[in-house]
Amino acid sequence: MRGDSGAIWCDMTLYRTMRPVVLASASPRRKELLALSGIEFKVVPSQALEPQPDDSETPEEYAVSMARIKAVEVSGRCPDAVVLGADSVVAVDMDVLGKPVDKEDAARMLGMLSGRTHRVVTGVCLVMPGREDMVFHVSTDVTMTEMPPEVIRAYVLTGEPMDKAGAYAVQGRAACFVTRIEGSYTNVVGLPLAEIVALLKKREVVLSPRP
């Protein structure tokens, strides 16, 4: 492909994948985000039970704990792979909002988020054969406009909130509710992509392309 300067550019992936990588998530959003990097991976959803947060846990501790549970369970079935687990929660002060159980629960969550700033916290766990597990979390502040009850009801009826932490999708119809994002946008979607790629490079799971 020829650029405007006349130089010849070859199509290539952003990174070379050096070891088998498994994403321990059934989330299509996480799959789409990781695929953007060009990293080769396969998806093996976790079958682990997901306990509710303990009152003594912070949102950050809970997200990291859930990511570890998912990654370790999948690693047991894929022992030769590098397994990436992630879990996202929405935090209003110290209250953890996961996925709504029904439409009423979704409306309740959106009412809590209306007109205020909340945190989206994603815990990440990387399990590698013969190496110590790596865990971290990324937090992003999201501010939402006031949402009248009738708007909340209309949004819930679209069905979009039902499988999303905090009952909204920033990359979907809920984009019109968000007035400010401070931090990683991809973290709000479900995967802090830049931070994950940096970790995979540090562990030499992926390398930069050859010159």
Condensed to tens digits (0 to 9), the pLDDT of residues 107-125 reads 999 999 999 999 999 999 9
Please enumerate in sequence order all residues whose Cβ is within 8 A of that of 51, keeping only pairs 6 or more positions apart, or say none. Answer: none
Place of tokens 């399990």: 127
44: Cα within 13 Å, side-chain hemisphere: 21
Token representation of residue 199: 């970790």
Does this model's pTM top 0.85?
yes
Q: How far apart are CA 200 and CA 203, in angstroms?
A: 5
Taking the CB of residue 85, how many other CB atoms lie within 10 A of it? 28
Residue 208's pLDDT is 85
pLDDT in tens, 161-206: 998 999 999 999 999 999 999 999 999 999 999 999 999 999 999 9
Asked if the model's pLDDT at residue 10 lies above 70, the reply is no
Helix (H, G, I), strand (E, B) or coil at 179: strand
pLDDT at 4 over 80: no
3 state SS of 135: strand
Under the banding of pLDDT at 50, 70 and 90, the label for residue 1 is: very low
pLDDT, average across residues 84-112? 94
Catalytic residue, chosen from 87, 93, 141, 163, is 87
Closest CA to 135 of 197, 63, 76, 74: 63
Report the alpha-carbon distance of residue 85 to residue 66 in Å, rounded.
8
Domain boundaries, the chain: 16-207
Q: Which fold has domain 16-207?
A: Maf protein (3.90.950)
Percent of the chain with pLDDT over 90: 82
Taking only the tens place, the pLDDT of each residue in 11-39 is 457 888 999 999 999 999 999 999 998 89
Is it the case that residue 7 has pLDDT exceeding 80?
A: no
* 4 in active site: no
- Average pLDDT over the chain, rounded to an integer: 92
The answer to whether residue 145 scores a pLDDT higher than 50 is yes
pLDDT of 3 > 50? The answer is: no
Average pLDDT in the 76-92 region? 96
